[in-house]
Amino acid sequence: MKTLAIISQKGGVGKTTLATALAVAAEKDGKIVAVFDLDPQASATFWKDTREADTPAVVAIPPSRLQHVLKAAEDTGCDLAIIDAPPFAKDIAFEAAQRADFILIPTRPAVLDVMAMTKTLELVGHYNKPAAVVLTFCPIQGREIADTELAVKQLNAEIAPVRIHNRVAYSRAQQTGLTAQEFETDGKAAEEIKQLYAYACMHLFPTKIEATNVVRPAKLTASRS
């Protein structure tokens, strides 16, 4: 079993949206998936409560139980565990990072989010786990994206080659217990999740991913649009 942790020290960056969407993408890929909701707000659990489908499994747990439930999930044949970590709680983020095989750090392209992203990178670096920053709520145009990508590059951090844009499909899907790719199967949001899932699999299941199916990181530049 592999474990993907989605961690940010700032709220409102789309952690739960990514966790649930990637879980559904993994199920479509034939994997048995469980989402472990460590956030006291229990957004992922609320999403599951409004969902008609029985899967993926979403379980709200106290952080102290994480090691135990991950072992239990592995013993029952789970292929992928996704940890939805809360913002601001450094001790919980440490626990999630420690158990992860790969970490996604969602970040809005904004000054305060970049500051929080820097702190999160320092935190996950404590365990020397592979991690990547993924830009969320991106505007279609604007210099903010290029500035944020440059900031990530200057921190010597990896940045996911997939941008998650500020699309209505994400919010509408979450309200109805769906994911963007279920709400609008052929939409642009669905394609973004598909590509982000392929990128995550490149790190989580490298021997099972064909190079032709994975988006490679584009070279970062300081150019501004």
pLDDT reported for residue 208: 62
How many CB atoms neighbour CB 138 within 10 A?
19
CATH of the structural domain 2-213, one choice from 3.10.310.30, 2.30.130.10, 3.40.50.300, 3.40.50.10490:
3.40.50.300
Give me the DSSP letters along 107-151: E-SSHHHHHHHHHHHHHHHTTT--EEEEE-SB-SS-HHHHHHHHH
> Can you give the pTM of this predicted structure?
0.90
Q: Which two tokens stand for residue 121?
A: 């990178």
pLDDT reported for residue 222: 35
Q: Which two tokens stand for residue 45?
A: 């659990």
**Please, which residues have CB within 8 angstroms of residue 37's CB and are 6 or more apart in sequence?**
16, 43, 44, 45, 58, 59, 60, 61, 84
pLDDT mean over 173-184: 95
| Nearest of 163, 160, 152, 159 to residue 118 by alpha carbon | 152
E strand intervals along the chain: 2-6, 33-37, 57-60, 80-84, 102-107, 131-135
Q: Which two tokens stand for residue 188?
A: 């642009």
Domain ranges of the chain: 2-213
pLDDT digits (tens, 9 = 90+) for 179-210: 999 999 999 999 999 999 999 999 999 876 54
**Sorting pLDDT into bands at 50, 70 and 90, what band is 211?**
very low
Residue 72 has pLDDT above 90, yes or no: yes
Q: Is 205 helix (H, G, I), strand (E, B) or coil?
A: coil
